[in-house]
Chain A
Amino acid sequence: MSSLLRGEEMCLAQLFLQSGSAYDCISELGELGLVEFRDLNPNVNSFQRKHVNEIKKCEEMERILGYLLREIKKADISLPESDMNPVSPSPKHIMTIMEQLQRLEVELGEVTRNKEKLQKNLLELTEYTHMLRITRNFVQRSAEREPLQVQYEEFPFLEKDTRMDYSSMQRLGAKLGFISGLIQRAKIEAFERMLWRVCKGYTILSYAEVEEYLEDPDTGEPTKSVVFLISYWGDQIGQKVKKICDCYHCHLYPYPSNNDERNDVVEGLRTRIQDLHTVLHRTEDYLRQVLIKASESVYTWVVQVKKMKAIYYILNLCSFDVTNKCLIAEVWCPVNDIPKLRRALEDGSRKSGATVPSFVNRIPTTDTPPTLIRTNKFTSGFQNIVDAYGVGSYREVNPAPFTIITFPFLFAVMFGDLGHGIIMSLFALWMVRYENNRKLKNTRNEIWNTFFEGRYIILMMGLFSIYTGLIYNDCFSKSLNIFGSGWNVTAMFTAKVWTTEVLKGNNFLTLDPDVTGVFKGPYPFGIDPIWNLASNRLTFLNSYKMKMSVILGIIHMSFGVILSTYNHRYFRKRYNLYLVFLPELLFLLCLFGYLVFMIFYKWLAFTAKDSKLAPSILIHFINMFLMQGDAKQPPEQGKAMEPLYPGQTGLQIFLVVIAVLSVPVLLLGKPVYLRWLQNGGQNRLGMYRGYERVRRNSDEELCLLRSEDMEEGNSHSDPSSSGEHLSKEFNFADEFLHQAIHTIEYCLGCVSNTASYLRLWALSLAHAQLSEVLWAMVMRVGLRMDTALGVVFLVPVFGLFAVLTVSILLVMEGLSAFLHALRLHWVEFQNKFYSGTGVKFCPFSFSLLPSSFEHDGLL
């Protein structure tokens, strides 16, 4: 627990690594994730570091791996799911991997290029086939029309040879040419218009659409094409037509002169297409096999390359010692893990077969170590929300173990609804039950990840909401009557206060608790269910909830102030306890603790009989500051000025005086005391002065002394406690300013933070009202219809009710209450004791390294 309460004790250590075994030692450390490396070469450019070539090689390998992964993804091959964790390769294996990858890349490139060429060929042949088929139809159609034509004497041969072809036209003496090909359907109209404008009647264009989709070689998308046949007279027209065809990117194919030629070409094409299909299939199969074989080992390679790159990066952070044979690395390490670190170095040295083992050495430091707080899957969510405000300073009290309960509790105070709490808990339980399901863990949806990471937080929030929902007696805006209400209506009739005439003459009547038998006692668990039926419900609830918010707030803040004593005692600043903690606590409790006392007193002491005399607490509180009251007020000012209890004025004056006196103590106490320590306390400071002179002579001696201390476990590695005794420059002005700001912040903060806790009332009111509106406007409309149709109507009404409940009341209100509870923790609670100016400990661990491939979705 001490780790979660305060953070681990850290130390700075030096690792002496033999050059031969440095790689393996760092590999071992990466697997364990124990230490954080410091950069010993901060002034060196990243291009001038020692291992920059190796890193370049790693990046080259990553490039090839990325290409491989993309190809594998394109071919829809699934990677074998494995949880294995290959170790980083030794430098010997690196070359093997590099060669394999390069070979694969070359092979893949070749095969892909071949495949593309084959596909292009296939496309051309297919287009040619279509063209021949469709132009035959053109000719056939005109052939069918022939018998209807009048036969002219001059052209008797037309009866026999009724197709348009070169031979007949040549006999006509005209130079007829044909151009045929394919064009994209989108362009055909423009093409036709252009042809007509340019050639004006010297061309005949006929076209028909190809039924099936052909793949466009440039974009790879299926497009529709149109087969066209242009017949023209004259060479110049032919040139123009060819130019226009080029312009429109048509695919032109030679037009056969007669039927036999056409048939031959079609046969030839058919065989060629079949051959091409076979070759293409074989090529695709081969490509697939290559990719499958690569996919078996690509995951291993990715992990190995990633680890290799990380190790070389760390090696770049190290420096050489004077003899140039040994690498020195400086690391931050938790003190409890030093034995583990030693074992890891021994393992690494053994694996690399080095004769001289590497070793570790603790060194003293005045730098502040990073903060490490060990968490498990339950506490990590709460630690994250504390760290989001600020990582704790080294070894100060961590609010997280308390946040585990107080955060869901304050959320539930704002959210309190039994039904909504049950739904939220079930959702969280589902997430927790299936938390080891890979699909849930590894999605890339950011919003889902956020919810999933916080599943334990949501579970706690839901469970507490169930409890507060029971106390608020609010379940989807309806109340439960489990124990029997404490209010009795019949008693009003028995006491003859209400009769049937009274009932007939009024719309609303108020029960009077003063009448005997009307109020039988408070509801034993929560708010009485009769208030749900009352029209003045909010009057009662508002008063209750506001007082509750103030009480909870002041207790929460007092808890925060008390937690600061942990810090004062740990860092050996006992004077803080008397000069800072005590005034703070007195100020808070004398003023606002007294307010809490007054609230409880009024609840307990004033019954319905005194309801006319019941004082307003707020007015008394204000008068306390103005030092009024006790003067005999005339009766018409009445109830507000009567004392709550005898001796009230005297007690209040006493409390105000204490509170006012504690302010200057808070303001001046600490700076004055520290200054007195520096100047005045001769006997205490005398021996440290002598110590200082010694220190100026030999720094190392002091370091040795300190490190001895540390090994004996005497002093804490906290710089400020020892530094404060030895410091030569104690800046009074600095300290005074700091303390003045703290005092003003604290005192004004007490007032404003107490008022800030009223948001507990505000949000719970908003939630209750929204819930009620949703019921009244949606569900009740459906429940009101009492015909048979009403049953059918109720189904969509309930669907709407459910959707609105989840989206507005659960998601929106939930997020809102979450945010406000978080703010209350971050500001009102934590500014009483938490500084949050630390740095988080980021160990060198392979499992924590991000992978760019996972980020791109390739893995």
Chain B
Amino acid sequence: MADQRFAIAMSVMTLFWGIVGGVVPWFIPKGPNRGVIVTMLVLTAVCCYLFWLIAILAQLNPLFGPSLSTDIIWYLNLAWD
């Protein structure tokens, strides 16, 4: 279940930024600005994907958990399940 969520997230994001960075540049019409737009798309895809990837990989195997106050623990026990 948890793995499934991770797998879905990973594939969706990879696919999305892969399309933005790899597929959309082929459809930009020829013009004076084509080079700039393609550069922008590729760089955006790389930067945003990398940033998301770092965030999810850092949380993949946590070595310690959050330290919560007892009030919050009471509330979460009842509200989140």
Contacts and interface: CB of A to CB of B under 8 A. Distances in A.
Interface in B43-81: 43-44, 47-48, 50-52, 54-70, 72-74, 76-77, 80-81
B5 A524 contact: yes
Contacts of B62: 513, 519, 540, 608
B19 interface: no
Given A533-B66, A536-B66, A604 B44 contact: no
A511 B58 CA distance: 17
Nearest to A505: B70
A314 B74 CA distance: 82
Contact of B66 (A4, A504, A537, A547): A537
A467 B48 contact: yes
A757 to B, nearest CB: 13
Interface of A: 1-2, 4-5, 376, 379, 401-402, 404-406, 409, 413, 467-468, 471, 483, 485-490, 493, 498, 503-504, 506-513, 518-528, 530-531, 533-537, 539-540, 543-544, 547-548, 551-552, 555, 600, 603-608, 611, 614
B39 A526 contact: no
B40 interface: yes
B50 A552 contact: yes
Nearest to B41: A405
Nearest to B62: A513
Contact of B61 (A5, A528, A608): A608
13 contacts: A5-B35, A404-B39, A468-B51, A489-B77, A507-B69, A509-B70, A510-B64, A510-B68, A513-B65, A518-B65, A522-B6, A523-B59, A608-B63
Contacts of B55: 471, 526-527, 544, 548
Contact of A530 (B52, B66, B69, B81): B66
B65 A413 contact: no
A490 B81 contact: yes
Nearest to B57: A603
Given A401-B36, A405-B44, A521-B2, A614 B63 contact: yes
A402 B38 CA distance: 11
Nearest to A512: B65
A409 B49 CA distance: 12
B59 A527 contact: yes
Contacts of B63: 513, 606, 608, 611, 614
A519 B3 contact: no
Interface of B: 1-3, 5-6, 8-9, 13, 32-36, 38-40, 43-44, 47-48, 50-52, 54-70, 72-74, 76-77, 80-81
B70 A508 contact: yes
B20 to A, nearest CB: 12
Given A522-B56, A603-B57, A534 B51 contact: no
Given A405-B40, A405-B44, A507-B70, 7 more contacts: A405-B39, A493-B77, A503-B70, A510-B67, A511-B65, A521-B6, A534-B67
A606 B35 contact: no
A533 B51 CA distance: 23
B61 A487 contact: no
B65 A487 contact: yes
B67 A489 contact: no
Contacts of B8: 524
A485 B80 contact: yes
Given A490-B81, A521-B6, A524-B9, A513 B76 contact: no
Contacts of A506: 70
B36 A379 contact: yes
A604 B57 contact: yes
Pick the 7 closest A-B CB pairs, nearest first: A1-B35, A521-B2, A534-B66, A511-B65, A524-B9, A405-B43, A522-B59
B59 A406 contact: no
A486 B3 CA distance: 11
Contacts of B44: 405, 409
A500 B73 CA distance: 11
A487 B39 contact: no
Nearest to A547: B58
A552 B53 CA distance: 12
Given A490-B77, A603-B60, A520 B65 contact: no
Given A405-B44, A487-B66, A604-B61, A471 B73 contact: no
Contacts of A503: 70, 73-74
Contacts of B52: 471, 525-526
A402 B39 CA distance: 7
B66 A531 contact: yes
A467 B64 CA distance: 27
A504 B62 CA distance: 27
A531 B58 CA distance: 13
A2 B8 CA distance: 40
A4 B32 CA distance: 10
Contacts of B81: 488, 490
A486 B80 CA distance: 11
B76 to A, nearest CB: 4
A528 B80 CA distance: 14
B9 A525 contact: yes
A493 B73 CA distance: 10
Given A608-B61, A614-B63, A486 B47 contact: no
B65 A535 contact: no
A533 B50 contact: no
A471 B51 contact: yes
Nearest to A543: B58
Contacts of A512: 65
B68 A1 contact: no
A518 B80 CA distance: 12
Residue with the greatest number of chain B CB neighbours at <10 A, chosen from A402, A508, A521:
A521
A528 B59 contact: yes
Contacts of A413: 51
Contacts of B9: 522, 524-525
B6 to A, nearest CB: 5
